[in-house]
Amino acid sequence: MLSGGDMINKGSPAWSDKYRCVEWPSLNGIVEAMAFGNHDSDYGADVFGECSKSISYPILSANTIDANGSALFARWTIVRRRGVRIGVFAVAGPDFDTLVKAAARETGSIGVSIYDWAGMSPGRWRALQAGWGTSSP
């Protein structure tokens, strides 16, 4: 099972404001990976970091970077099913900067930006694909 992200969402549902990511660890052993969703940073880097520590599955985003251009999350993972290796990756869409509040993108909060996944250079795609040949990101 894969998660599309948006596992916390400020203001809606209201329980998220009180309990934050209480259900995240209950998905350990069930969810293989989670995409970084545009609402996952709604409460800032500290809350997101605490939530992330409670899970054993990776959070994925192939094109989410920090102010230095370094990847913030695993770009991919390998899921094995019945002897078949399946490469799984997630990308933030071109509307990321309009969906994620500016305060959540600033340094000192979560400090993220994206590069256009559709415009990824052939070299970046080859690097992503080459990584699939190994067992971990």
Quick: pLDDT tens for 56-77: 999 998 888 877 778 888 988 9
Report how far Cα 14 is from the mean position of its chain's Cα atoms.
22
| In the chain, where the domains are located | 2-131
Q: Which two tokens stand for residue 24?
A: 């995240």
Nearest to 75 by CA among 23, 134, 9, 21: 134
Find where tokens 């609402």 sit.
39
Contact 74, 91 (CB under 8 A): no
What would the pLDDT profile of 97-123 be if each residue is shown by its tens digit?
788 777 666 644 455 666 666 655 566
More confident residue, 96 or 6: 6
CA distance to 56, 59, 87, 129, per residue, from 39 (Å): 20, 13, 25, 28
CATH class of 2-131: alpha beta
How open is the CA angle 22-26-29, to the nearest 5 degrees?
145
Kindly state the average pLDDT of the residues 18-38.
92
